Amino acid sequence: LQAQQGRLTAEAQKEVADYLDVPVVKVHEVVSFYTMLTEKPRGRHHIMVCKTLSCALHGSSAVFQALQSELGIRPGEVSADGQFSLESVECLGACDMGASVQVDDTLYGQMDEAKTKKLLETLRIRTGA
Ligand code: FES
């Protein structure tokens, strides 16, 4: 449902709860706990930057700042053109590749400010933004 609608609305959570035959609150607990699930609208591309120690030691803060500056948005916001949303997350499971960034389902490692700008450029070209 999230892939179809871009988020899990209250109605979607009710539909899942009915399908699984569990109380809606149980579905809501899962949705509010896992960062890959969301109730809030996201951009066409959702960008997640790892903020955990290994990536922090490899410059994830600078990558995160560069993304905010380039996109003109803060964490949890969607860019004016609807193309990008941004959030910082806990470990993406690629600690040896820090600083790690995930865009939708694709993981990018050893990111720095220059690579981040290049990645945005590539994504913008792909989406025509
Ligand atoms: S600490 Fe960043 S991916 Fe694990």
For the record, the structure tokens of 3 come out as 């892939």
Check residue 128 and give its pLDDT.
72
The CB density around residue 18, as the number of other CB atoms within 10 Å, is 11
Note the maximum CA span of the chain. Answer: 49
Q: Which amino acid is at 34?
A: Y
Q: Who lines ligand 1 at CB under 6 A? A: 50, 52, 54-55, 91-95, 98, 100
Q: What is the pLDDT of residues 25-66, one digit of tens each?
A: 999 999 999 888 999 989 999 999 999 999 999 999 999 999
The pTM is what?
0.85
Please give the pLDDT value at position 75. Answer: 94
pLDDT surpasses 90 at 9: yes
Pocket test residue of 49, 51, 55, 88 for ligand 1, highest count of atoms within 8 A of CB:
55
**Percent of residues, the chain, with pLDDT higher than 90:** 83
